[in-house]
Structures are given as C-alpha cells and as structure tokens.
Chains A and B, each alone.
Chain A
Amino acid sequence: MNYSLQFGEILRHWPDLLAGAITTLLVAFVAFWVGVLIGLGGALAQRHGRPWLRRSVRAYVVFFTNTPSLIQLFVLFYGLPDVGIVLTPMQAVLIGLSLNAGAYLTDIFRGGLASVRQAELEAAATLNMNTCQRFRYVTLPHLAQTLYPMLSNFFIWIVLGSSIGGLFGVDELAGKAIEISSTTMRSIEAFSVAGAIYVVLTFIASLFLYAVGYFCLRVRARFI
C-alpha cells in the first residue's frame, strides 16, 4: 500500500482540463436555458392549456422527475438508434439534460405562476397591457425575483449533474478526467483534481449568480 500521489502528470494536462471545464459550463448553460424555456412553456400549458395538454405535460414531468437521468440518457443514446435515430454523445446529453431540467423547472415555475398576484394582473389589464405585456412586466419579473434562489441552486445542480456526460464520452470535465486517468493510470489524482475544479467552477458560478441577483433583481440569495 505504498501509493505516492503524483499530481504532476495530471497537471500537465491542464489545457485539456480547462477545455473540459469550459465544455461543462456550456453544457450546463444550454441545458439550463432550454430547460427554462420548456419549464415556462410547461407551466403555462398546465395553467392555461386544454385538458389533454395539461395531462401530457403532467405525464412528461412525472416521467422525467421519477426516473434516473442515467436511464433517460441510456434510452436516448442506446435506445433511439433502434428506431433509426442516432445521436452523438453531445446531442444525447444536451437533449437528455434539457428534458430533465425542463421537467423539474415546469414544477418550479408552476408554483411561481400560482403566486403571481391576480390583483396586479388585473391592474395591468385595466392599464391596457395585452397578454404579452402582462407576462413581460408582471409575471416574468415576479418569477425571476421569487424563484431566483431556487434557479441559482438548480443551475449549480446542473453543472454537477452534467458530469454524467463523461460516461457517454462527452469531452466535459468529468469526461476529460476519465480520459486522463486511463492514459496516465493516475485515477485518484485525476479525479481529485477534477473534483477541485468542480468546486472552483461552482464557486465562481455562485458568486456570479449572487451578484446578478443582488444587483439586477434585488434578491439576497444564499451565497455558498
């Protein structure tokens, strides 16, 4: 049991790790924003849609929030080719994570929509705001402000969750760590360095999100 830690070999791969970290942020960013769009649409559909639409959205949410995202990605990546749809690892991971995020965010936004003050919407109507303007000036700012802390945490959660992409060969941070560990045979070092980079990433992201919330939305979100 005389294992001597040697970080030198890992750190020599810093450009790879940096590229991986950037990919991680990009994947998380895309999945988050696509998820936000799906979530907003889903929540609005559940609130205002016809019964069949409401039921379909509910089924989507129940399915994606009650199955492991690993299984969802397996279906996309290994299952879909059986019906002739072949996705690259990156495509499968982006679609999978976005759909997964969309399901959670549908539930989050549904709660947010329910807490918009009806009286404010009525006031906006009497001021002649149309449906879009009411959404833009009343509903959306309310959602942004009340849900901001939850959304910030959710983004961090996606940054970490996107590491699942490494299992499918996506070149994000975890994927790079897997690759480096197999070429250098230095698993402990490779993964602990990757872990440390995740800590730095989430720290920077939290700091950034905190500043945005504080200065743009008057939100005092939890910071670390």
Chain B
Amino acid sequence: MPHLDINNLSCSYGSQPVLDGLSLSVEKGQVVSLIGGSGSGKSTLLRVIMGLTQPTGGSISIGEQAVDYGSAASVRAAREKIAIVFQQYNLFNNMSVLRNVMVTPTRVQKRDERKVRDEAMTLLSKVGLKDKANVYPAQLSGGQQQRVAISRALALQPQILLLDEITSALDPELVGEVLDSVRQLARDGMTMLLVSHEMRFVREVSDQVAMMDKGRIVEMAPPEQLFTQPQQPRTQAFMQKVAWH
C-alpha cells in the first residue's frame, strides 16, 4: 500500500489544464523527486495535495484514507499527516524562530507547551539553529530561514513531507546546509515528495525520480536509470539541457 497515492489527478486554472490525469505513488519511507521544466505543474501538484488549490478530477489517498478536498474536515485530517516547505520559506515574520516552530503544535494541536518547546529546541539544534531560537526571521539568512521552515513543518510530526524547490531562492553557498537537513530526514526514513533543480542532490537522495511535463508524469524511474538512460524523448531533452548547467 503506497503512503501517498495520486490517481488520475486533474487541475486547471480557468480553461487551461495544469495537471492532466497525473498518477504517482510514493511508498512509505521513500523519497520521490519531481523534475521538469518551469510551468510543468510541479508546484500545482503539491498545492493540490495540501488543499491550497482545488483538483478538478482524480483522487489522492494518504495511506488508506482518501482525501475529499470538498470537505474541510477531510482536508484538515490530510494536513495533520502532510507538511509542506515552500520555496520562499513563508515564515511568520512577526514571530520569533522558536514561536514559528511552536505555534502550530501548541495553538492548533493544543499539545503541552513545555513538551513542544523541548521538541522544538531539539529540531532547531538538529538544523544548527539552537542559538537563533529567539531571533526574528528578518534577521536570518535565507538558508537559515529555510531550515526554520523545515523545523516548523517537522514540529507537526508529519508522516509525509513535501518540499517545493526549497533551495531555489538561496545563494549558492547556502544551498548545502539546507540539503544536509533534507539528507538527514531521508536517512531517518521520512516519506518525501520533493521538487528540485539540484540534479546532483536529486540523484543522490531519491529512490525514484519522476519527470513531469505538461501536467503529467512522462517517466518515472530510479535515479541512476533516469539520469543515465532516459527512455522518453522529453526526458532526454531535459537531461541534455540541465547537463549544461
């Protein structure tokens, strides 16, 4: 049974289809990476999974539970299991780092404040930001903010983590520290679906890589296979293009 199962999913903005009968499944503990050109629908897929954009067809299941995106309760239940980290971090600028991480567990999940604080500090020290707990996001570098965003997502104790180009807004020298945090999560067995343009990282960390084009998965294979022997012309063309960078 896949941990995250996406079946024949469609989504359109107005008359323009953005996801076009997309199917994809992620097994428990697996890391699946989405690659593909800009505008191919990668972010939209993650937004639909999180209930930020309404699908127009198809289905998504988390474990055995099908998500009904028309039902607030069902979306709420899905968001308890899945967390997302965005390209632009989207931290709460008016809260300190620690409070960014703590606010949902304490105020939404109503868990014990002291216990959450300990967990939050543990998460922050794992990403090397223990000493920044009382600082505000504006005082941090992009890489540090992104690691806070990862900690904030993990504080919910999600089963599945979605990462949308989390290093794209960072200066090159800050990319490494963020990717290290993701590598650690992969080693810990977190189920992840991530979008990335860091091909070397994708190749190293993924169990499966899915090539996306025009709202569909055109090819999905283990990284070695996809990177060295792409079968589809679209994937071959894409690989040639990224090879130049």
Q: Which residues of B contact A138 (CB under 8 A)?
A: 92, 94
Q: Which of A115-162 contact B (CB under 8 A)?
A: 117, 119-120, 122-129, 133, 137-138, 141-142, 145
Residues in A whose Cβ lies below 8 Å from that of B83? 126-127
- How far, in whole Å, are A37 and B93 apart by their CA atoms in the complex? 24
Judging by beta carbons under 8 Å apart, are B156 and A127 in contact?
yes
A128 touches B94 (CB 8 A): no
Give every chain B residue within 8 A of A123 (Cβ-Cβ).
86, 90-92
Instruction: From known contacts A127-B79, A128-B76, A218-B136, infer whether A122 and B90 are also in contact, taking CB-CB under 8 Å.
Output: yes
B108 at the interface (CB under 8 A from A): yes
A127 contact set on B, CB distance < 8 A: 79, 83, 103-104, 108, 152, 156
Question: CB distance A126 to B84 under 8 Å?
Answer: yes
Cα distance A128–B105 in the bound complex, in angstroms: 10
Q: Which residue of B lies closest to A142 (CB)?
A: B94
Q: B237 at interface (Cβ–Cβ under 8 A)? A: no
Cβ proximity bits B81-106 to A, threshold 8 Å, 1 near / 0 not? 00110101011111100000001100
The reply to whether B107 and A133 contact each other, CB–CB distance below 8 Å, is: yes
> Is B113's beta carbon under 8 Å from chain A?
no
Chain B residues, CB < 8 A from A142: 93-94
Instruction: Give the distance to chain A from B60, nearest Cβ to Cβ, in Å.
Output: 15
B140 within 8 A of A: no
Interface residues of B in 227-242 (CB under 8 A from A): none
Contacts of B109 in A (CB 8 A): 128
On whether A137 and B103 interact (CB within 8 A), knowing A126-B84, A127-B108, A129-B108, the answer reads yes
A119 CB contacts on chain B under 8 angstroms: 86, 88, 90
A106 to chain B: closest CB distance in Å? 22
Residue of B nearest to A217 (CB): B94
B108 touches which of A117, A122, A128, A145 (Cβ 8 Å): A128
Q: How far is the CB of B180 from chain A (nearest CB, A)?
A: 23
Which residue of chain A has its CB nearest to the CB of B138?
A218
Shortest CB-to-CB span from B123 to chain A, Å, is 15
Asked if B224 lies at the interface with its beta carbon under 8 angstroms from chain A, I say: no
CA distance in complex: A122, B164 (Å): 14
Given known A-B contacts A119-B86, A137-B103, A218-B136, A126 and B92 have beta carbons under 8 A apart: no
Q: Return chain B residues, CB-CB under 8 Å to A117.
A: 90, 93
Inter-subunit contact B50/A126 (CB<8 Å): yes
Query: Quick check: is B198 within 8 A (CB to CB) of the other chain?
Result: no
B171 interface residue per 8 A CB criterion? no
Q: Does B52 contact A (CB under 8 A)?
A: yes
B118 at interface (Cβ–Cβ under 8 A)?
Answer: no
Residues of A within 8 A of B51 (CB): 125-126
What A residues does B91 contact at CB under 8 A?
A: 120, 123
A141 x B86 contact (CB < 8 A): no
How many Å lie between the Cα of A140 and that of B107 in the bound state?
16
Q: Which of A126, A129, A141 counts the most chain B CB atoms within 10 A?
A: A126
Inter-chain contacts of A145 with B (CB < 8 A) = 94
Q: 7 closest A-B pairs (Cβ-Cβ)?
A: A141-B94, A123-B90, A119-B90, A127-B104, A128-B79, A126-B50, A128-B108
A-contacting residues of B (Cβ < 8 Å)? 50-52, 76, 79-80, 83-84, 86, 88, 90-95, 103-104, 107-109, 136, 152, 156
**Can you report 5 residue pairs joining A to B where beta carbons are below 8 Å apart?**
A119-B88, A120-B90, A126-B52, A127-B104, A127-B156
Given A120-B90, A128-B104, output 7 extra A-B contacts at Cβ < 8 Å. A119-B86, A119-B88, A120-B93, A123-B91, A127-B108, A137-B103, A142-B94
